[in-house]
Amino acid sequence: MINKSLTALLLIFLFFVSKTYSSENNIYKKIDLFGEVLEKINKEYVDEVNQSESMDSAINGLLQSLDPYSAYMSPEIFNEMQTETSGEFGGLGIEVSMESGVVKVISPIDDTPASRAGIKAGDYIVKIDDIQVQGKSLSEAVDLMRGPVGSGIKLTIRRRGEKKALTFSIVREIIQIQSVKADLLEKNIGYIRLTSFNENSGSQIKKEIEKFEKNKNLKSYILDLRNNPGGLLSQAIKISDFFLENGEIVSTKSRKTSENRKWFAKKGDLINGKTLLVLINYGSASASEIVAGALKDHKRAILLGESSYGKGSVQSIIPLKNNGAIRLTVAKYYLPSGKSISEVGVSPDIEVSEDSDDFRIKTETDNQLSYAIKLLNG
């Protein structure tokens, strides 16, 4: 009996060893094949090939095949990302990702060159000056958009609903983001505009709420998350908690179940149960979707506007031996309902689309804000 058991265990062991060896052997064959292809390109391709650039492109292609947010950063690009270049380089003020080989605008940031020029969430950047974006990595495309403050750049855009490509001439600036703006509307609505989730966003919003709560005429609040591309998860949790008494805010799930996490609200609603309306659009992404989704799932807020972007994943920057790095998706966000935000986004309770091409947030053309005010004041 013992001999039979030992024989069975040995057969199982050999099966798994054989399977593992077969899998590893197949990977090594693929690596050999890659080397052979690279060698053929170097010998036979019509033009001379930069082998280093070819390898970088191959690595980046591997990462971009996973999702739009994973990417390779060469030592030069990684160093630039880490280096403080205050006053030396300017930007456009857009959050971008890579989709189908072109750069996609997640969101233009308020009061930046891109926003003022008319760049919109969902736009596809197909050319930077006269350089085609197709074939470039996200890091390379972003690097092309950087440059000295005051220098000009031309972006060629493909926009949904437009038959012809659009061209925008923009002047680079130092991008200084004012994360929180607040205003009293119609003498009884506390309006809070959040443009990004940085380390001070939560404390700034709390200060504005404390000011509003001293106003005895205040009836309701509007939290404006439109064109907010996201930021720090910790701030999204903190801000959601301002309006919730209890319950789950968000959870993250990764490949390793031991690293899965959940965050819960603590007792205490800073606005004391007053009506809360949240404005969202396609430019609301990541941390914005966590806040909007948590408040919707707990039926604590009315969501108005357009469906959000659908970026429900967590990226880590992982340094490499060559002094470069990879940006790799390591987890996904899940709302209290258990729904994933990825590729789906958060849908509004009341859908109101932008009315015109001249639409600008919190101006006379802002029909979504006008609708929200009328709804709250009946």
Of 56, 143, 297, 366, the catalytic one is 297
- The answer to whether 311 is a known catalytic residue is yes
Closest by CA to 157, choosing from 110, 68, 94, 111, is 94
Note if 234 is an active site residue: no
Catalytic residue among 123, 311, 313, 366: 311
Kindly name the residue from 286, 288, 308, 313 that is annotated as catalytic: 286
How far apart, in whole angstroms, are the C-alpha atoms of residue 233 and residue 240? 11
For 82-108, b/e burial (b = at least 16 CB within 10 A) is eeeeeeebbbbbbbbbbeeebbbbbbb
Which one-letter amino acid corresponds to residue 40? Answer: K
Report the catalytic residues: 286, 297, 311
